[in-house]
Amino acid sequence: MPPATPSLSLLDLGWDDSWAAALAAQSDGSLTPGRVSRIDRGISTVLIAGGPVRVAAVADLQLAVGDWVTLTLDPTTGALDPTTGALDPTTGDWVLAGILPRRCAFRRVTDGPAARQQVVAANIDTVFLVDAIDGQLSVRHLERYVVLALQSGAQPVIVVTKSDLASPEQVSEHLAQVAQAASGAPVHVVSAATDQGVDALAPYLGPGRTVALLGLSGAGKSTLVNLLVGAQVLATGAVRSDGKGRHTTTYRELVAIPGGGLLIDTPGMRALSVATATEGVALVFADIEELETRCRFPDCSHTTEAGCAVMEAVATGDLSAERLASWRQLRSETPPEDPAAARVRVAVRKRDKASAKATRAQSRATQRKLALPPPT
C-alpha cells in the first residue's frame, strides 16, 4: 500500500479553469475529477477533493502518474445518503470512467523486443534532469534526456546534485561538460547534505505546478524530493561500489509539497530511445539545423560537399566534432522529417529570432531616448 496522503484540494493538485472546461465537455454531471498519484499492479491511487481513493485498472485506459481522470461510483456498492438519496462516496467503490486530454507527457520507449511507448509522467510543467556529480551520466546521455524533455512540452532544468562530494574545481569542470548538453536549459547545483542551491529550485514549484524528476538510479532524486517536501516521504538508498545507483525507487509517485507544488519521482532510466522525438532533437541541436539551411546543396550530407556550412563551422571551431557526431547519431534514430515541414519550422524559428532581435533593439533605443538630457 502507498503511504498515507494528506487531503488536498483540486487547486492544490493543479486544477484550473482549463481542466474544468475539459470536464464540462464530458456532459456528465455525475463524474468526479481526480489526479493519479501512483499505480501499483493495476490498482491506481487517485487523489480527489475528499482524499485518496483506490481504483482498479480498465483495459482500454492506459494511465500514467500525473493524469487527470474522471471517476464514478459503482451503483452496486456502498450505501445511500439518507439526506440526499445519492450514493455515499465514503462507502462505495470508485470506478475509472476516462482520462482528460493530456497537456503534455514525458514518453520513453521500453526496452526489449516488444518495445512500446510508455508515458513516464503526464501533465508536468517542468522536468528536473538530476545528474549526480559523482555519477555515471555522460554528456551524450544527458542530451537524450533534454531531447525527450523538450519533446514532452515541459521545461527542462538540469539539477547537479551531491556538489559537496567534489571540489570547486571539479564542480566547474563538470558544469562545463553539462553546458554542452544543456541547450540553454537552466542549470542548478545543489547539495542535500548542506542545502546548497536548494532555494534556487523554489520558482519551479509554485502552487499547482508539477515537476517530474528524471535521471539515473543513485542520482539523488528521492533524496531531493524528501528535502523539498521537508519530510522522509520516499525511501533512499546508497550508491553501489561501482558508482551505479541502487534502484531504490521502483515506481512513480506524485508527492505534494507543503505550501504548494507537486513532485513526481521516477525510477532510474538508462535506455532512452529518441525514435519518437524528432522535434526534440531539432530543438536541442537548433544551432546545427540552422547551419544546415546555409549549405549550398539542399541534400547536403555534411561530409565532403563543397559549400557545407556545417563542416565549415567544424573547421573554424564554431562547432565541435563531438556535437556534430551526437546530432548525426540522434537524427539517425528518428524518422526522416518531411522537407516542407522542416523548411516551415526553420522559417518560423528565423522569424521568431528576428522579432526578438527587433524587440531588443527597440527597447535599447527607447532606453537611450529616455536617458537623453532634456532640450535646452
Condensed to tens digits (0 to 9), the pLDDT of residues 55-71 reads: 998 888 889 999 999 99
Read off the pLDDT band of 82 (50, 70, 90).
low
Residue of 144 and 135 predicted with greater confidence: 144
Amino acid 157: pLDDT:
95
Amino acid 38: pLDDT:
93
| Closest C-alpha among 94, 119, 121, 87 to residue 14 | 121
What is the β-pairing status of strands 126-132 and 155-161?
A: parallel
Q: Mean pLDDT across the stretch 165-172?
A: 89
Read off the pLDDT band of 369 (50, 70, 90).
low
∠ CA 103-353-276 to the nearest 5 degrees? 40
- What is the rounded CA–CA span in Å between residue 3 and residue 63? 20
Amino acid 97: pLDDT:
93
- What is the rounded CA–CA span in Å between residue 319 and residue 291? 10
Condensed to tens digits (0 to 9), the pLDDT of residues 9-49 reads: 899 999 999 999 999 999 888 899 999 999 988 899 999 98
Condensed to tens digits (0 to 9), the pLDDT of residues 252-284 reads: 889 988 878 999 988 877 667 888 888 899 999
Residues whose CB falls within 8 Å of the CB of residue 155, separated by 6 or more in sequence, listed in order = 125, 126, 127, 149, 185, 204
Res 102 pLDDT > 60? yes
- What is the rounded CA–CA span in Å between residue 348 and residue 338? 15
∠ CA 281-116-154 to the nearest 5 degrees? 40
Read off the pLDDT band of 106 (50, 70, 90).
very high
Considering only the C-alpha atoms of the chain, give the largest distance between any 2 of them, rounded to a whole number of Å.
88
pLDDT above 70 coverage of the chain, percent: 76
Which sign does the torsion angle of CA 144, 118, 245, 167 carry?
Answer: positive
Q: Mean pLDDT across the stretch 331-339?
A: 75
Condensed to tens digits (0 to 9), the pLDDT of residues 293-332 reads: 899 988 888 988 899 999 999 999 999 999 999 999 998 8
Res 2 pLDDT > 60? no
Residue 345's φ and ψ, nearest 5 degrees, are -60, -45
Condensed to tens digits (0 to 9), the pLDDT of residues 345-364 reads: 556 555 655 665 676 567 66
Please report where in the chains the cell 563538470 appears, as a residue.
174
Read off the pLDDT band of 147 (50, 70, 90).
very high
Q: How far is C-alpha 335 from the geometric centre of its chain's CA atoms?
A: 22
- Cβ neighbour number for residue 346 with a 10 Å cutoff: 16
- Cβ neighbour number for residue 269 with a 10 Å cutoff: 18
Asked which of 3-17, 78-92, 166-180 is least confident by mean pLDDT, the reply is 78-92
Amino acid 374: pLDDT:
55
What's the chain's length in residues?
376
Read off the pLDDT band of 246 (50, 70, 90).
very low
Amino acid 274: pLDDT:
85
Amino acid 263: pLDDT:
93
Q: Which of the residue ranges 73-77, 203-207, 365-369 has the most confident prediction, judged by mean pLDDT?
A: 203-207
C-alpha dist (Å) from residue 200 to 11, 70, 111, 151, 305:
24, 35, 35, 25, 47
Do the Cβ atoms of 346 and 338 come closer than 8 Å?
A: no
**182-202 b/e with 16+ CB inside 10 Å = b?**
bbebebbbbbbeeeeebeebe
H or E segment at 351? Answer: helix 339-371
- Mean pLDDT (the chain) is 81
Amino acid 219: pLDDT:
80
Residues whose CB falls within 8 Å of the CB of residue 261, separated by 6 or more in sequence, listed in order = 204, 205, 206, 207, 208, 209, 210, 211, 228
Walk me through the domains of the chain, giving residue ranges and CATH numbers.
17-99 (2.40.50.140), 105-265 (3.40.50.300), 285-337 (1.10.40.50)
